[in-house]
Structure 1
């Protein structure tokens, strides 16, 4: 199993205690938060990155993360 930081472990523990619609909403919210954090990391690198290959990969990743955020926001809206 991958290493999980303290905040991630707390979120996992919270999710384990939920079921049904409560779980669904909390799961999507946690994924949205994680993707937003990841997007911020990509944007930070793009503002300072100097390696052209790394910058190109970061741009691709940013696009995928942005798409995932849009899907998660739509799902969150559908869940209410």
Structure 2
């Protein structure tokens, strides 16, 4: 009979798995909070334009003109 004491090897394996799941969960939560999953980081300039239009910093005509400039690049 093999006696492993208080720390059997399978507990170590589950500790590693659950720690990894915890870290992945935190990373996914932070990315979702930063807006990486909804595409706002990928669009860059267009997201800034939409934000400025929503805040009222630019009007619809300026928005359309600037969006056309962004789409040309």
Give the TM-score normalised by the residue count of structure 2.
Answer: 0.39
Q: Which has the larger radius of gyration?
A: 2
More helix by share: 1
Q: Which has the higher contact order (CA 8 A, sep 6+)?
A: 1
Give the TM-score normalised by the residue count of structure 1.
Answer: 0.36
